[in-house]
Chain A
Amino acid sequence: QVQLQQWGAGLLRPSETLSLTCAVHGASFNGYYWSWIRQSPGKGLEWIGEIHHSGTTNYNPSLKGVFTISVDPPKNQFSLRLDSVTAADTAVYYCAREYYYDQSASYFDSWGQGSLVTVSS
């Protein structure tokens, strides 16, 4: 049973750096894509981007390249970084595993518990 455990600073001031890490337990880290998704207060789900264990990344172009996702395969971990946060980045951030059920389609079958990040001066 795969489990994703995430952590990182929850209260940031504007212009500080958001840094979150997600650790994968109970399943292989290799061979999967791993995503970050955020949910602003009272809003829907926004996909930020994904990383393969090999380091290949894809990002949501609507977020204008401000996020960086990295991976540490020996530790079974992947991370999210955002430099210079603003109040608009206040959200719950989730890490999630993408499960490919056919060659070209995947869904999120396992999620972290979520991390509330609040940006306030």
Chain B
Amino acid sequence: DIQLTQSPPFLSASVGDKVSITCRASQAIGTYLAWYQQKPGTAPKVLLYGASKLETGVPSRFSGSGSGTEFTLTITSLQPEDFATYYCQQLNTYPVIFGQGTRLEIK
């Protein structure tokens, strides 16, 4: 099975900051990766798919890059509503696998 490793597991930042989260795959997956945001008590929400394609309605301060085994989610100019947990997911092989999550907290 493909394994996804996110780093860092925890991230502390301030409103207005730019942050990046990395997701590394144990084998090459092309651009078959999605990013989700989850707030406490709610279901995850997709932000990006295909590594860099922004889901409809998601603010443009979210962006994704990468291919093969290394991917990055970048959030520019953090807003208060962005403090949440972020997960990556590989998209085209079974079983479906998620990264272990990165918790973004307010500094």
- Give me the interface of A with B, judged by CB distance under 8 Å: 35, 44-47, 50, 58-62, 94, 96, 101-102, 104-109, 111-114
Contacts and interface: CB of A to CB of B under 8 A. Distances in A.
24 contacts: A44-B101, A45-B101, A47-B98, A50-B96, A58-B95, A60-B95, A62-B1, A62-B95, A94-B43, A94-B44, A101-B50, A101-B53, A105-B50, A105-B91, A106-B92, A107-B49, A107-B91, A108-B34, A108-B46, A108-B89, A111-B43, A111-B44, A111-B45, A113-B43
Interface centre among A44, A45, A62, A102 (most CB of B within 10 A): A45
A26 to B, nearest CB: 16
B99 interface: yes
B91 to A, nearest CB: 4
A112 B91 contact: no
B82 interface: no
Contact of A45 (B45, B50, B53, B87): B87
B interface bracket (residues with beta carbon within 8 Å of A): 20 to 34
Contacts of A50: 96
Contact of A105 (B32, B97, B99, B100): B32
Given A107-B89, A108-B44, A60 B96 contact: yes
A106 B100 contact: no
A109 B46 CA distance: 6
Nearest to A108: B46
